[in-house]
Structure 1
Amino acid sequence: MYGFGITTHQFILAFCIAVFGAFGNGLAGFGLALLIGPFLLMINPAFFPGPIILLVGLITTMVMIRERKAVSCSCVKQALGGFIPGTALAALIAARLPEREIALLFGGLIFVAVGMSLVGPAIRPGKKILFSAGVLGGFMGTLSGVSMPPLALALQNRPGPELRGTIACVGFLSVILSTIALALVGRLGIKELQLALCLAPGVVLGYVFSFPVAEYFDKRCTRPAVFLLSSISAVAMIVRYV
C-alpha cells in the first residue's frame, strides 16, 4: 500500500487476521487484541499500536450497542477512574521506548493478560478492585490494545450480559483515552487512522459471521484456543526481537 510501507500481500494477510480475530471475539466475548495484535505487529510495525487500538474501539462499540441494556454504570465509573492514570503512564513509556523494547514489552503484556484470564482467582468487584483493574487495564491497553482481562477478572461473577456490556462500555471509553494519549505523544495520526479504516470492514465481517455460530459453539472452548494462539504468537514475536 503506497505511503504506508505495507505490501499488498501484507495487507491481505492483515485483513484476513482481522476477520478471524473479530470472529473469535464474537464467539468468546472478548479477545480481539489478544488474537490480532501480535500477528499484525509481526506483519508490519505500522499496525502498532494505534490501528490495533482503533480496531478494538470498533468492536467494543458493536458489543456495547448489543448489550447496552445490561451495562453497570457504577462499575463503569469506578473502573474508568483507574484507566486515566494507567493510560497516562503508558503513553509516557510509549513516547520514550524504541520499537524493539516496546515489542518485547508487548509480548510480556500478552502473557500477563493470558495468565490473568486463565487462572485468575474469584474477586469481589469492590471500588478498590475496579479502580486497580482500571489502572492496569489502561496501562496495558494503551501499549497493546489488550485492556479488558483485568476488568473481566474483576467482573467474572456477574451475569453474562452485564459482564459483556460493562466490559465493552469501559473498553470503548478506554480506547478514547488511549487514542487521545497516543495522539498527544505523536504515536497516532492520519496514517494510523487510515490503516484502521482499511481493516475495519474485516472486523465488521468477522463479528457478523460469528452470530450464527455463537448459538451452537461452546464459548468455554473458544477462550482457551484464543489464549493459546495468543501465547504462541507472543513467543514468536519476542524471539524475533531478542
Structure 2
Amino acid sequence: MLYTLPELLAVLIVTCGIALQTVVGIGYGLVAAPLLYLIDPVYVPGPILLVGFGLALMMVIRERRELRWKRVMPAIIARVPGAWCGAALLVAIPQYALSLFFGFSVLSAVLLSLWRLSIPTTPINLTIAGFLSGVTGTATSVGGPPIALVYQQQDRITARSEIAAFLLIGTPVSIIMLIHQGSLDWHTAHLSLKMLPGLFLGFFLARLIDGKLTTTSAKPLLLAVSGASALMVTIKGMIGWLGL
C-alpha cells in the first residue's frame, strides 16, 4: 500500500494520539482530529471514528478485569440520541460552519479541561455526558472530553477502562448514524485502512511509556496541541464564512 506524504503525517499523528489515549484514557480524538482536519477534512469524522473503535476494542480486551459495565451503561444509552443529533448536524450545515463548530467544540473541551470541575460519577451526569459525547463525537469525532470530565474523580485505570467500554459501544452507534446519513463511504473506509499502522504502533508505544506518563504530566502537552490546532481550524472556518 503506497502512502503520500500527508498520509504518512496522518499515521504519525494517529500514533501519538493512540499512545496518549491508551495510557491516560483520553487524547486520541482531542489531539488527532483537529490536526487531521487541517491536513484534509475528509479524515473527520469517519476515519477517526473507525480507527477509534479499533482502539476501544483493544483497550477493553486488555482492561476487561477492571470494567464495571453497569456504571457506564447510562452514558452508553444516552449516546444513541446524541449520535443521531450529531449526524443530522453534520449534513445540515456547510463546510465553513462545520469548521467553526468543530473548532469551538475542541476549544471548549480544552477550556473545560483546564477548569477543574468537580463532577461526581453519577447516573445523571453520565447520561448528560453520554448525550453530549454522542453529538460532538459523531459530528466532529471528538467525543471523549464530556465523558472524561465525569471520570475526573476516578483513578486512571478505572477511568481509561470504563471510557474505553463507553467508546466500544458508542462509536459503532455514531458510525451507523453516519452511514445512514450518507456521510461515510468507501473512500473514508480506505483512509481508515491506511491509518491502521498508527493504531498498532501507538498501542505498542503506550506499553513502553505506561507508568512513565500520567494524566497530570500528559495534560499540558495534550491541551496545548489540541488548543492550537483547534484555533487554526476555527480561523479556517471564519475565513470560509467571510468568503476570503
TM-score (norm 1): 0.92
| Deviation sequence 1:77-102 (CA, Å, 0-9, x none) | 11112111111111111111122111
The answer for the alignment partner of 1:183 in structure 2 is 179
- The reply on whether 1:221 has 2:217 as its aligned counterpart is yes
Which stretch shifts more, 23-32 or 49-58?
A: 23-32
Structural mapping, 1:68-217, within 5 Å: 68-217=64-213
- Which consecutive aligned stretches of 4+ in structure 1 deviate over 4 angstroms post-superposition? none
Question: Do the aligned partners of residues 49 and 218 (structure 1) sit closer, same or farther apart at CA in structure 2, a change above 3 Å counting?
Answer: closer
Q: Which runs of 5+ in 2 are unaligned?
A: 239-244
3-state SS, counterpart of residue 142 of structure 2: coil
CA contact (8 A) 2:24 2:160 kept: no
Q: Which amino acid aligns with 2:162?
A: T
CA contact (8 A) 2:147 2:163 kept: yes
CA distance in 2, matches of 1:25, 1:163: 11
| Deviation sequence 1:155-185 (CA, Å, 0-9, x none) | 2222332221110010111111100000000
| Deviation sequence 1:205-239 (CA, Å, 0-9, x none) | 02211212222234311122111110000111111
Which stretch shifts more, 111-120 or 65-74?
A: 111-120
Identity %: 29
Q: CA deviation at 1:118?
A: 2.7
3-state SS, counterpart of residue 158 of structure 1: coil
Q: Give RMSD over aligned pairs.
A: 1.7
CA contact (8 A) 1:57 1:172 kept: yes
CA distance in 2, matches of 1:139, 1:68: 27
Q: CA deviation at 1:145?
A: 1.5
Q: Which runs of 5+ in 1 are unaligned?
A: none
3-state SS, counterpart of residue 67 of structure 1: helix
Q: CA deviation at 1:25?
A: 2.4
TM-score (norm 2): 0.91
